[in-house]
């Protein structure tokens, strides 16, 4: 495997991304970024199948518009990793800020610990391949999956009493599903969101995702392969259809 | 239904002596006003929207259409419209949606601004004889230029220039998405701007593959719903526009109803067929001006700093400081959309009441950017109700670099501003996705019409400039001395920084 190492100490994000692009063009299969400290936009708009290892804490919009690569972060991530991402995978060995996976339309974002507000907001789906997946090991703040239009958000609540304790889950959701470990209090649901029974067939569908997530962080998937989940989806696929009358 | 029906908006009649019974009115009316029963063509006036398709197609000029044949008792406050809105809401309890731009009879500032011309003391210029420089560059300009002498003694530019759009005329076509309008409408305009050397916007509907041949003349839009946005789309566009707001509905998002999301629209927007396409009010990754900077830079970084990035805002009360904030971000141009801007659909209360006129917004933004010493670094694009070359010339004299037209381009394609765009039944093949209606609009002929309009305005602009003794668009830009206000109050003149007529 062709590996390229880049020492990012004190480096601005533009030259850093230029180096990453040059390495990809040069046929690198793995790129190791050392001493990352707050550089934004890592892997922004990047294509290909490269694997990027980030050692440190990247800045906002990690993997924005990314289409293909895998990016593994040994640290926390800032605002909106996976923003409008198309394809590929982000694996964060830590927590991430607000608007994680914002408008994402394909690929996977796996967060080991917690995320901030508006996780999975406006995620959308087109076709079977373009189905975004966000998995959070810990918990998430308010407005999880707000305006969601497709894809899957899964919150496992590892080490917590309850997977979610913040409100506004799925407000304005009109497609896709939010699956939360255990029971969820009704008052946490946002406007337009509805609880559904989590069935064996749901489990069958998400089992590969659970296994995939556990593989990344060394968890035993057996712990999570039961039907102790709550599924939240849209009460209607046309949440605003009844709000308007024409002139 | 105790409220009963309201008076019909139009009364349609056929002069039976003139009529040759060809049936074209029946065929052409997608709203179903006409139908044949036995040997007679019957008319259902209540269904008429005033789109005038039948009138345009009748070979005998046999059709008469009267607006408001029955009106209410007249009243200056309780107008027909006010009364009907109340009746509608009493029936439904809902928000009233409307199409096209602001329909209120408010004074138009453009019509109270007059242009200048030379007499005796300085000669006017004949554009037929003298070259007129209309070329406009949209994008960031350096605050100063550095040069270097090479060994051979030549002078070389050292300053790195930011990418700019090169316009042959300061008229572009604004953002109208595929979904809101038909592919043939988009194709007509794309062909026209490509031929003329100017640009049009994709709107927030993605870029249909049939438009790829014209991509070098398309500005791709990134709005809060991020429909159709991926790296491929960003790289195809000549420039990228972040849509924050829209003049027809400042402060709220957009909503393309599921009925309009057919196979093609779904593929282009990258959402499932029949799903509502909802653009939230804010971009949920922009909650501050710092976040806007971050989005601008993320777009530039994704496209390797090869594309100018514009930011479009609605003209609202604080438009000047907001634009100043945008000028200080990494944006290359600010697009200001006035309260008369058109739309496929907007809540009526927004369309008719929120925002400020574009004329005032251009003047105050230009003024603020000059005060702050950054006007030369960023371009201003103005839109929202620009109807003629006179509005264009006045916009530039108030401080805009270029304008975006929308409704005017649609009228060039046949639109009669009937305001029923949301019904997917546009008989002119513009605001519809129905194949039988879309095919009424031939993109080749449409392109000629749109290009004729822009050419006509461009000639007129050169004439207006020549008459004022100006031979370069640069000398007209922000040149308020060539404007005079007529019947505008003192405060308004102060904001426009224009003298009253006679002064
Ligand atoms: S289009 Fe004119 S002439 Fe033809 S049927 Fe209709 S009204 Fe008569
Ligand atoms: S685009 Fe069509 S429906 Fe909309 S106002 Fe014009 S003619 Fe009417």
State residue B156 phi and psi, 5-degree precision: -120, 145
pTM: 0.95
Q: Cα separation of B440 and B432, whole Å?
A: 11
CATH number of A95-243, picked from 3.30.70.890, 3.40.50.150, 3.20.19.10, 2.160.20.60? 2.160.20.60
Tell whether the model's pLDDT for residue B73 goes beyond 70. yes
- Per the CB < 8 Å rule, is A83 touching B285? yes
B418 Cβ inside 6 Å of ligand 2: yes
How large a percentage of chain A has pLDDT more than 90? 91
Give the pLDDT of residue B450: 98
pLDDT of B65 > 90? The answer is: yes
Given a cut of 80, is residue B250 above it in pLDDT?
Answer: yes
Q: Check pLDDT > 90 for residue B422.
A: no
Residue B403, pLDDT above cutoff 60: yes
Distance B176 CA to ligand 1 centre (A): 33
The answer to the question of whether B421 is labelled as a binding residue is: no
pLDDT mean over A191-212: 96
Which are the contacts of B457, defined by CB distance < 8 A and separation ≥ 6? Answer: B169, B171, B388, B389, B392
pLDDT-derived band at B344 (thresholds 50, 70, 90) equals: confident
Q: Give the three-class secondary structure for B368.
A: helix
Mean pLDDT of B289-301: 95
Instruction: Please report how many Cα atoms fall inside a 13 Å half-sphere around the Cα of residue A2, on the Cβ side.
Output: 9
> What are the Cα distances from residue A218, in Å, to A205, A214, A222, A227, B315?
21, 6, 12, 21, 53
Domains and CATH numbers, chain B: 10-71 (3.30.70.20), 136-143+159-500 (3.20.20.70)
Residue A213, pLDDT above cutoff 60? yes
| CA–CA gap between residue A138 and residue A226 (Å, rounded) | 18
> Is residue B257 predicted with pLDDT exceeding 80?
no
- Does the distance separating the beta carbons of A247 and B348 come in below 8 Å? yes
Instruction: Express as a percent the part of chain B with pLDDT over 70.
Output: 100
Query: Binding site annotation covers B22?
Result: yes
CB A100 within 8 A of CB A73: no
Asked if residue B270 has pLDDT above 90, the reply is no
Using the beta-carbon criterion (under 8 Å), do A99 and B95 form an inter-chain contact?
A: no
- B258-264 long-range contacts, CB within 8 A, separation 24+: B258/A237, B258/A238, B258/A241, B259/B424, B260/B179, B260/B180, B260/B424, B260/B433, B261/B179, B262/B433, B264/B178, B264/B183, B264/B208, B264/B433
Q: Is the CB of B185 under 6 A from ligand 2?
A: no
Q: Are B168 and B196 in contact (CB under 8 A)?
A: yes
Q: What is the mean pLDDT of residues B396-415?
A: 98
B100 C-alpha to ligand 2 centroid (Å)? 8
Residue A61 Cα distances to A105, B291, B409, angstroms: 15, 11, 38
Neighbours of B191 (CB within 10 A): 21
Q: Is the CB of B162 under 6 A from ligand 1?
A: no
The label of the residue with tokens 């805009």 reads B400
Give the mean pLDDT of B398-421. 96
What is the band of A89 on the pLDDT scale with cuts at 50, 70, 90? very high
Interchain contact B348–A (C-beta under 8 A): yes
Tokens for B114, please give them.
């007059």
Point out the least confidently predicted range of A159-168, B161-170, B200-209, B276-285.
Answer: B276-285
Q: What is the pLDDT of residue B269?
A: 86
Nearest 5 degrees, angle CA B139-CA B141-CA B146? Answer: 150
Nearest CB to A65 within list B91, B266, B302: B302
Task: Band the pLDDT of B258: cuts 50, 70, 90.
Answer: confident
Please give the average per-residue pLDDT across B22-40, as a whole number.
96
What ranges make up the beta strands (E) of B248-338? Answer: 254-256, 277-279, 309-314, 333-337
Inter-chain touch A121–B284, beta carbons under 8 Å = yes
pLDDT in tens, B141-163: 998 899 999 999 899 999 999 99
Instruction: Report how far ligand 1's centroid is from the alpha carbon of B14 (Å).
Output: 7
**Is residue B274 predicted with pLDDT exceeding 90?**
no
- The pLDDT score that the predictor gives to residue A246 is 80
Chain B residues within an 8 Å CB radius of A18: 304
pLDDT tens readout for residues A127-137:
767 899 999 99
* Residue B276 pLDDT exceeds 90: no
User: How far is C-alpha B501 from the chain's CA centre?
Assistant: 30
Cα-Cα-Cα-Cα dihedral of B446, B418, B313, B258, to 10°? Answer: -90
pLDDT at B390: 98
Set of chain A residues whose Cβ sits within 8 Å of the Cβ of B301: 13-14, 17, 40-41, 44-45
Indicate whether residue B53 lines ligand 1 (CB < 6 A).
Answer: no
A6-10, A186-190, B210-214, B287-291: segment of lowest average pLDDT: B287-291
Q: Do A44 and B226 touch (CB under 8 A)?
A: no
Confidence band for B1, pLDDT divided at 50, 70 and 90? low
Q: B221-243 pLDDT, tens per residue?
A: 999 989 999 999 999 999 999 99
Domain boundaries defined on chain A: 95-243
Pairing between β-strand B63-67 and β-strand B10-14 as defined by DSSP bridges: antiparallel
State residue A237's pLDDT score. 67
- Evaluate if residue B118 carries a pLDDT over 70: yes
What contacts B290, CB < 8 A, 6 or more positions away?
none
User: What 3-state DSSP class applies to B299?
Assistant: helix
- Both tokens of residue B43? 């008319």
Instruction: Determine the average pLDDT of the residues in B184-188.
Output: 98
**Using a CB-CB distance cutoff of 8 angstroms, which residues of chain A are in contact with residue B221?**
none
Instruction: Return all residues near B196 (Cβ < 8 A) that are at least 6 apart.
Output: B168, B169, B451, B454, B455
Instruction: Tell me which of B500 and B421 has the higher pLDDT.
Output: B500
Q: What is the largest CA-CA distance in chain B?
A: 91
Q: Which residue of B has its CA nearest to A122?
A: B225
β B483-485/B113-115 pair status: antiparallel
Query: At A180, which helix (H) or strand (E)?
Result: strand A175-181
- What's the whole-number average pLDDT of chain A? 95
* Optimal mutation site among B95, B231, B249, interface A, most CBs of chain A within 10 A: B231
Distance from CA of B216 to the nearest CA of A (A): 20
Residues B338-361: what's their mean pLDDT?
93
User: CB–CB of B316/B384 below 8 Å?
Assistant: no
Average pLDDT over residues A68-96: 97
pLDDT at position B143, please?
Answer: 86
Interface of B with A in 419-478 (CB under 8 A): 419, 422-423
CA distance to partner chain B, nearest, from residue A39 (Å): 12
Strands A51-57 and A67-74: parallel
pLDDT recorded at residue B281: 85
Instruction: Give the residue, by CA position, lying nearest to ligand 1 atom 8.
Output: B19
Mean pLDDT of the region B186-196: 98
Ligand nearest the Cα of residue B36 is 1
- pLDDT, mean over chain B: 94
Kindly determine whether residue A240 and residue B278, on different chains, have CB atoms separated by under 8 Å: yes
């Amino acid at each position: 495997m062709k590996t390229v190492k880049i020492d990012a100490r004190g480096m601005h994000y533009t030259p850093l991304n230029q180096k990453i692009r040059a390495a990809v063009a040069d046929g690198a299969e793995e790129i190791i970024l050392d001493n990352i400290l707050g550089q934004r936009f890592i892997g922004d708009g990047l294509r290909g199948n490269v694997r990027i290892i980030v050692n440190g804490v990247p800045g906002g919009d990690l993997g924005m518009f990314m289409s293909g690569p895998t990016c593994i972060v040994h640290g926390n991530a800032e605002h909106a990793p996976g923003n409008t991402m198309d394809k590929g995978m982000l694996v964060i060995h830590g927590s991430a800020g607000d608007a994680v996976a914002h408008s994402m339309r394909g690929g996977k974002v796996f967060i080991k610990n917690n995320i901030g507000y508006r996780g999975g907001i406006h995620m959308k789906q087109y076709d079977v391949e373009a189905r975004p997946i966000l998995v959070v090991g810990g918990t998430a703040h308010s407005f999880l999956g707000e305006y969601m239009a497709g894809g899957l958000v899964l919150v496992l609540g590892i080490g917590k009493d309850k997977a979610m304790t913040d409100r506004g889950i799925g407000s304005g959701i009109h497609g896709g599903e939010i699956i939360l470990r255990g029971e969820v209090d009704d008052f946490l649901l946002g406007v337009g969101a509805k609880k559904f029974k989590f069935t064996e067939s749901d489990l069958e569908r998400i089992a590969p995702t659970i296994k995939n997530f556990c593989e990344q962080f060394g968890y035993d998937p057996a712990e999570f392969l039961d039907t102790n989940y709550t599924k939240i989806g849209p009460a209607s696929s046309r949440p605003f259809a009844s709000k308007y009358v024409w002139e | 239904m105790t409220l009963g029906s309201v008076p019909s908006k139009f009364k349609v009649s056929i002069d039976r002596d003139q009529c040759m019974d060809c049936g074209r009115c029946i065929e052409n009316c997608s709203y179903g006003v006409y139908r044949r029963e036995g040997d007679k063509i019957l008319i259902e006036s209540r269904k008429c929207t005033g789109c005038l398709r039948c009138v345009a197609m009748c070979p005998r000029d046999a059709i008469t259409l009267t607006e408001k044949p029955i009106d209410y008792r007249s009243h200056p406050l309780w107008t027909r419209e006010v009364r009907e809105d109340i009746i509608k809401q009493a029936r439904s309890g809902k928000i009233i949606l409307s199409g096209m731009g602001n329909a209120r009879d408010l004074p138009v500032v453009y019509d109270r601004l007059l242009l200048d011309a030379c007499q005796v003391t300085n000669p006017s210029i004949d554009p037929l004889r003298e070259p007129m420089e209309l070329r406009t560059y949209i994008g960031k300009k350096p605050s100063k230029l550095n040069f270097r002498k090479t060994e051979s003694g030549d002078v070389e530019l050292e300053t790195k220039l930011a990418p700019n759009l090169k316009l042959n005329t300061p008229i572009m076509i604004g953002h109208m998405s595929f979904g809101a309008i038909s592919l043939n409408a988009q194709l007509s305009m794309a062909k026209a701007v490509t031929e003329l050397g100017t640009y049009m916007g994709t709107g927030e509907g993605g870029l249909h593959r049939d438009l790829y041949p014209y991509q070098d003349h398309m500005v791709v839009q990134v709005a809060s719903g991020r429909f159709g946005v991926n790296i491929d789309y960003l790289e195809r566009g000549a420039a990228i526009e972040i849509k924050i707001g829209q003049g027809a509905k400042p402060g709220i998002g957009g909503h393309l109803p599921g009925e309009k999301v057919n196979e093609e629209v779904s593929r282009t927007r990258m959402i499932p067929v029949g799903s509502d396409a909802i653009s939230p009010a804010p971009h949920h990754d922009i909650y501050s001006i710092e976040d806007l900077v971050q989005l601008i830079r993320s777009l530039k970084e994704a496209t390797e700093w090869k594309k100018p990035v514009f930011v479009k805002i609605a003209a609202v009360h604080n438009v000047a400081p907001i634009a100043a904030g945008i000028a200080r971000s990494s944006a290359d141009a600010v697009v200001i959309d006035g309260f008369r801007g058109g739309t496929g659909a907007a809540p009526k209360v927004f369309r008719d009441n929120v925002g400020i006129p574009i004329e005032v917004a251009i003047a105050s933004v230009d003024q603020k950017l000059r005060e702050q010493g950054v006007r030369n670094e960023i371009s201003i694009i103005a839109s929202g109700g620009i109807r003629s070359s006179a509005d264009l010339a006045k916009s530039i004299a108030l401080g805009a670099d270029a304008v975006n037209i929308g409704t005017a381009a649609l009228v060039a394609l046949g639109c009669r501003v009937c305001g029923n765009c949301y019904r997917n039944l546009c008989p002119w093949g513009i605001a519809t996705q129905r194949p039988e209606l879309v095919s009424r609009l031939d993109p080749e002929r449409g392109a000629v019409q749109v290009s004729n309009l822009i050419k006509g305005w461009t000639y007129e602009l050169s004439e207006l400039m020549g008459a004022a003794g100006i031979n370069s668009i640069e000398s007209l830009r922000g040149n308020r001395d060539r404007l005079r206000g007529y019947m505008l109050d003192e405060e308004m003149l102060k904001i426009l920084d224009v003298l009253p007529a006679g002064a």
